[in-house]
Structure 1
Amino acid sequence: MSRITRALCALALLCAPLSSPLAAGGAIVHQAETSLEAALDGLQAAILERGLYINNVLDLGEMFARTGADLGFTEPVYGEARSVEFCSAVLSREMMREDPTRIVNCPFVVSLYTLPDDPATVHAAYRAIPAELQAASPVMREVAELLDALARAALEW
C-alpha cells in the first residue's frame, strides 16, 4: 500500500464519526463526542417528534454515586448517566399481541452515559433485539430500527 493510500485511510478513520454500533452484553452502543445534556435534549426531542410519550428520565449517575457511597464504593461507574423510558402504544400493542412475553421490552429505554475517564464521549445504549427475532417479526424489526434511530439522533443533536 502506498504512503498516500495509507494516509488517506488514516484520514478517513479520523474523520469517521465515533458513532458505531458495538454489541456488548445484549446492548447496542453508539458513541460520539458531545455533552450528555445535548444528547439528552436530542433524545427527548427525537422521541417527542415521533409522537411518543416519555414516561420517565432517570438520573442513574446520581443514583449510583449516592448508593455507591452508602455501600463503601469509592470509584465512580459513570461520569454522568441518564436513562429515558418511553412508550409507543402502537408498537407495544403489536409486539405483545404477537407474543405476550414481550412485555419485558416495554417501556422502551435508551440510556446515555459518559465514563469517568472520558467525559467528552457520550454513549447511547439500548437493549439489542436479536437479528433472528427481527427477521421473524416485522414489529420487532421496527422496534429495533426505532431504538437505533433514537440513539443516533441523540448523538447528532
Structure 2
Amino acid sequence: MTRITTSLFATALAALVAGPSSAGDHAVLLPYKGSFDDATFAVENAIIGRGLVVDYVSHAGEMLARTAADVGSDVKLFEEADIFLFCSAALSRKVMEADPTNIAHCPYSVFVYEREGEVVIGHRTFPEGPMQEVQALLSEIATEAAE
C-alpha cells in the first residue's frame, strides 16, 4: 500500500472504531417544560405556522419499543419519540441550486422525545455553507415550539 492509501485506511478505521459522536456534534437539543403531547403539538404548529406541510410523522419511539426484543435488546430508549418530516420548496430549491448534493439532507426534520421524564425538542445540524439557512429554519421552529 502507498503511504497515502495507508493513511486514508488508518483514518477511516479510526473513525469506525471511535463510534458515533456526541449529540453536540450532530444535533441541537432544547428542553421542553411540558408533556410530550404538548411538545409535539407545538412542533407541528410551528411548522404549519410557516406555511409548510408536515409530510410524515415517524413514530420512532413506538418502532424501537416494538422491535427491541426482535433485535435482542431489553433497553427502553424513550418513553415516546416522534420525528416530523417536512420540506420547504423555496429553501430546498435554493440550497440544491447551490449544490445539488444537498438533496441528501432533504426532507428536513424536527424531533421530540421523552426520556427519563424529560421532554426534548431538537434537530440535526448541517455542514457550513448553504445548509446553514436550513439549520436556521429548524432552529427557529424548535425554539418557538420549546418556548
TM over 0.5: yes
Report sequence identity in percent: 38
Q: Contact 2:111/2:122 (CA < 8 Å) preserved in 1?
A: yes
Show structure 1 runs of 5+ residues with no match.
Answer: 1-21
CA distance in 1: counterparts of 2:24 and 2:132, whole angstroms? 19
Q: How many residues align?
A: 126
1:47-74 Cα offsets, whole Å, 9 max, x none, are: 1110011110111110000110222311
Instruction: State the shift of 1:23 in Å.
Output: 5.1
Q: Contact 1:122/1:155 (CA < 8 Å) preserved in 2?
A: no
SS of the residue corresponding to residue 68 of structure 2 reads helix
Show structure 2 runs of 5+ residues with no match.
Answer: 1-21
Instruction: State the shift of 1:98 in Å.
Output: 0.4
Instruction: State the shift of 1:142 in Å.
Output: 2.3
Instruction: State the shift of 1:143 in Å.
Output: 1.2
- Report the TM-score, using the length of structure 2 for normalisation: 0.79
CA distance in 2: counterparts of 1:88 and 1:105, whole angstroms? 12
CA distance in 1: counterparts of 2:82 and 2:23, whole angstroms? 20
Q: Which residue of 1 aligns with 2:123?
A: 126
What amino acid is aligned across from residue 120 of structure 2 in structure 1? H
Equivalent residues in 2 for 1:49-128, closer than 5 Å: 49-115=49-115, 118-119=116-117, 121-128=118-125
CA distance in 1: counterparts of 2:74 and 2:132, whole angstroms? 41
